[in-house]
Amino acid sequence: MANVVLGVSGGIAAYKVCELLRSFTESGHDVRVVPTASALEFVGAPTWAALSGHPVPTDVWTEAHEVPHVRIGRGAELVVVAPATADLLAKAAHGLADDLLTNTLLTARCPVMYVPAMHTEMWEHPSTRANVATLRARGAVVVEPAVGRLTGTDTGKGRLPEPDEIFAVARQVLQRGRLEPDLTGRQVVVSAGGTREPLDPVRFLGNRSSGRQGYAVARAAVARGAAVTLVAANVALSDPAGVKVVRVESTGQLRDAVLSAAADANVVVMAAAPSDFAPVERAEHKIKRAADGSAPTIALRQNDDILAALSADRPRPDMVVVGFAAETGDGAGEVFAHARAKLARKRCDLLVVNDVSGGQVFGSHDNEAVILGADGSRVDVPRGSKDTLAHAVWDSVTARLTPQG
């Protein structure tokens, strides 16, 4: 387990960070909490000490003979600052060090992750945006704030993401060691979940996709520095930290949302499972049982092929397009024969192939896959977490991205 420094700056969202601290400690990490003086106005030192199991330093003068402003930063394997206020981001970007936390940030040689929380106007101010860009350019992970209720009656972008989702990103950064922010400055679109085509006001034609793999792909992109839009189809999962989520239901809605978001994207990862078919007509009323016991006949039509359309008409010529394929073998061929044919037909750059014979993968927290490239490459990803597969996908993507100017 890792030595983690949890920096807390003076925002009202500091109370939510208690849950983040608990997630770290219950996972076995050794956490030192370093609050600013203003953070202690929201949550006191005894609370941080009780939850972390360590005394809480509050200034550079306490136990000065141990040089805490150097020792704490040097010993860290990850520094997470949550909430990161506009003031804290400005100090970090400009190398100011007037308290223990900002001194620690200058001495740390490990990955640093900032989780901003502030009012929308402060987040959108040019100074804050410039400071965030500076920190990202230096390799820091800056997680985009969530949209929601702020202090008082205000609502907008600037809310601290949920603690469990912050922890999910931090865990990925830790697992990858010195994770290179190789997607910094890149716009990424990820789709997830399964679409539903209504048969009547009650029933629908759908599939078993849970969206977990697409969500893992989105989280991994955040951990690697990307600006991520996630188009989620009927997914009952918490919004990943730092991600713009667009919720859809049908394949048509998924197509429209993905194509709209893809206009400025460097990468599109189609991890969703769109329904191949939709009913020709939707019944206006619930379809009733027939008195003679007969079943209704439902005529189906093919839905648009979103992945093929996007690959054929890319908004940017250097866009990397990734598809996912859940395949089973049959009398016409084995799994990877079907997958290679699909890769050629869809004209995408990469195809992530899952063998779902017997219902494997769906809803599971683990996955295994083969990543096929249009260039003939093949990467086998053995069974492991969906986070592991997500990073394997991004490793293959980054190798194909045009260098930034």
Residue 182 within any structural domain of the chain: no
Domain identity same for 195 and 280: yes
pLDDT score for 360: 56
Conformation bin of residue 63: beta by default, left when phi > 0, alpha when psi is -120 to 50: left
b vs e for 35-70, b when ≥16 Cβ sit within 10 Å of the residue's Cβ? bbebbbebbeeebbeebbeeebbbebeeeeeeebbe
- DSSP labels for 146-215? EEEE-STT-EEEEEPPPHHHHHHHHHHHHHTSS---TTTT-EEEEEEEB--EESSSS-EE-----SHHHH
Domain identity same for 195 and 139: no
Domain identity same for 290 and 329: yes
Torsion on CA atoms 240, 214, 198, 275, rounded to nearest 10: 170
Residue 169 within any structural domain of the chain: yes
Residue 300 within any structural domain of the chain: yes
Domain identity same for 120 and 202: no
Domain identity same for 287 and 370: yes
Domain identity same for 26 and 59: yes
pLDDT score for 68: 61
Residue 392 within any structural domain of the chain: yes
What are 308's two structure tokens? 């093929």
Residue 84 within any structural domain of the chain: yes
pLDDT score for 397: 98
In the chain, how many domains are there? 2
**Can the peptide bond before residue 296 be classed as cis, meaning omega within 30 degrees of 0?**
no
Query: Phi/psi of residue 215, each to 5°?
Result: -65, -40
Residue 227 within any structural domain of the chain: yes
Q: Are 145 and 159 in contact (CB under 8 A)?
A: yes
Domain identity same for 159 and 191: no
55 CB-near residues (< 8 Å, 6+ apart): 49
pLDDT score for 230: 98
User: Along the chain (405 residues), what's the average pLDDT of each consecutive run of 10 residues?
Assistant: 95 97 97 96 96 87 60 92 98 96 94 96 97 94 92 88 96 75 93 96 92 95 94 95 96 97 97 94 90 89 95 94 84 77 94 76 75 95 93 96 86
Cα–Cα nearest to 117, from 220, 232, 20? 20
Domain extent for 70: 3-175
Domain identity same for 346 and 376: yes
> Residue 8 and residue 18: Cα distance in Å, rounded?
10
Domain identity same for 222 and 168: no
Burial class (CB in 10 A: 0-12, 13-18, 19+), 387: buried
pLDDT score for 28: 96
Domain identity same for 202 and 127: no
What are 166's two structure tokens? 């912050």
CATH code (residue 43) = 3.40.50.1950
Residue 383 within any structural domain of the chain: yes
Among residues 175, 200, 228, the one where a domain terminates is 175
Q: What are residue 8's DSSP bridge partners?
A: 35
Domain identity same for 372 and 298: yes
CATH code (residue 220) = 3.40.50.10300
Domain identity same for 13 and 159: yes
Active site residues: 207
Among residues 175, 200, 234, the one where a domain terminates is 175
Among residues 119, 148, 175, the one where a domain terminates is 175
pLDDT score for 71: 83
Residue 404 within any structural domain of the chain: no
